Homo-oligomer: A and B are copies of this chain.
């Protein structure tokens, strides 16, 4: 990937002398950003632009070329790529649109490009993108116009939309924060976000990565990269609604993923999800300050109202407002002008007009060992104390950078002063509102404490002989089953040592009575065939059968139902199961997500799921720690701990079961959906028992 960003020569393909020609903007940018390598222009009409000759084809370029940036009609691409191949150009940025985002025709064209690239060992970015920028060497291929008003900063950007990426660049310029590398990936036919992200995380110029994505190329690989990353990764994953899916498909050909799964996956691997420009900038600013290593905050404000607002924000983001030493407070109080303010944390310095003392307070406070960061509100209007306030802002920046602890500085002032301060302090994030400042510090803190994430490798592997499950699944495939029978599902669960409520099969009323007696009354009896999608709805579940007579009678009733629904069935098999009357009802499910692969979900059974949607998701495999976090996340899990005098449930057994299910769905992707519902969680030490199960095949 590095070769995309550090070529020694670039060919811009598609330039014409016409003033509306878009490829000319690429040439303009290479100059505007002061590209340090050689530039060649290519266009069939020849001529020249900005003193560069325009070669009619790539083959006409007299020297070697490392990278080609191409903006020509889609249909010309195969020929141009062939020429690049012949010329030995191994990196292309294809900015042309008109491919899969338009439908099937474009898809064929894309297949051709992939084939040609593979033939010549070419890697390319795009099509349908605005290309790359590298602030380090001035490489800049966008056809969208930018002035080079950017600093070199520690942020690198991957954007699936040129427009959204460009908007972020504008905002960064206006905040004077800068960036390091930028890549617009469009249809990501060859190079995708994961390829670039992996490179950015190795790249010494990049300290934080931001991605705007309309679709996720390979969720599992993204997670694996994130698990290994010690740099913050921020993602704006858009395309979350039906209407946006429609437009995203025609924009970059992206499909949408399930929101719950995206959120769970990102949390699991510590990717910070942002949702709009405001939250993007806050997160970028958060990581532009030294890290917030703890939770102890000091707030200092030159306005009482902002001290109140800052305290609200500190509470909202769960910071501890560490008290100031009494002696220190008395010292400061003694030096206030009118003595009309009482000091604490937040410290309201509305009555302080001694800027050296303000400086001293910030310096001494940040230096304290029991302070992890500060939020400072500096109010001033552009009339009184201008110079003093500007100088103070600069000194606070120095204190922050020298102390390597964050000071979120809110400048509450006029637009002109704000612009001036930003100009004075390139690369140093500043804020306008205490709410945003507190949020940024919280983002920094939460990233610093992400270490309790557990990667896929930490999920333990249980030794399982897979012959039986594979045989069952193969047999089901042969008979083109859409779901397994309950008996088959139970056999697979047993194979993974997942505890089941004791069960037997019965093929006659006599056998039903005998099995029930053997299990011990009361029993439940159920139909098992794959023809029953919802057994209860079909009347196929009988509970609390208390005698041989009831068991016999029950079998006959179920047999009649089987006769109706599965008239071809050779045998009328029912399941006799020991009733589990105690225990908390929990459900654990799993599904194969098209983007992230096997996903586990869990929650309390019954109304808690239906009414409160109280479910936790994880991408599998999950470790014990991750399974534990799932249940910590569910609000209803308090119930499992025992409320209103009920005994606590056996959470450890449940966590073990979740891990086994996790391995099951990772091992057997043929199972598209799996639903264990209910699982009865017995009192602590007594385990848990799966009562019913459904497995749908892919």
Contact = CB atoms under 8 A, between A and B. Distances in A.
Nearest to A636: B611
A381 B166 contact: yes
Interface stretch (A3-11, A409-417, A550-558, A652-660): A409-417
Nearest to A414: B170
B303 A415 contact: no
Interface string A236-266: 0011111110111011100000000000000
Interface in A261-280: 275-278
A306 B167 contact: yes
Interface in A400-449: 412-415, 418, 432-436
A342 interface: yes
Contacts of A315: 240-244
A415 B341 contact: no
B250 A341 contact: yes
B305 A147 contact: no
Given A238-B309, A241-B311, A338-B97, A303 B348 contact: no
A301 B412 CA distance: 33
Nearest to A276: B435
A160 interface: yes
Contacts of A415: 170, 173-174
A442 B671 CA distance: 43
B340 A98 contact: yes
Interface string A650-677: 0000000000000000000000000000
A149 interface: yes
A638 B606 CA distance: 13
A519 interface: no
A505 to B, nearest CB: 28
A140 B162 CA distance: 47
B161 A308 contact: yes
A163 B414 contact: no
B163 A306 contact: yes
A463 interface: no
A413 B168 CA distance: 10
A464 interface: no
A20 B337 CA distance: 11
Given A350-B163, A433-B278, A241 B381 contact: no
A211 to B, nearest CB: 13
A171 to B, nearest CB: 8
B308 A251 contact: yes
A602 to B, nearest CB: 16
Interface string A343-355: 0111010110100
Given A277-B435, A433-B276, A636-B612, A250 B348 contact: yes
A533 interface: no
A278 B435 contact: yes
A382 interface: yes
Interface string A321-348: 1000000000000000010111011101
Point out which of A342, A346, A413 has the most chain B C-beta atoms below 10 A from its C-beta.
A342
A25 interface: yes
Contacts of A643: 607, 610-611
A133 B162 CA distance: 45
A278 to B, nearest CB: 6
Nearest to A382: B147
Contacts of A304: 161, 163, 247, 250-252
A120 interface: no
Contact of A638 (B174, B241, B611, B635): B611
Given A243-B345, A315-B242, A340 B74 contact: yes
Interface string A367-401: 00000000000010111100000000000000000
23 contacts: A98-B340, A162-B303, A163-B302, A165-B305, A167-B303, A170-B415, A173-B415, A238-B308, A239-B308, A241-B314, A241-B315, A241-B316, A244-B312, A244-B346, A250-B304, A250-B344, A251-B304, A251-B305, A276-B433, A277-B432, A607-B636, A611-B638, A611-B639
Given A145-B384, A170-B412, 4 more contacts: A164-B303, A244-B315, A246-B311, A607-B643
Interface of A: 20, 25, 73-74, 97-98, 101-102, 144-147, 149, 159-167, 170-171, 173-174, 212, 214, 238-244, 246-248, 250-252, 275-278, 301-309, 311-316, 321, 338, 340-342, 344-346, 348, 350-351, 353, 379, 381-384, 412-415, 418, 432-436, 606-607, 610-612, 614, 635-636, 638-639, 643-644
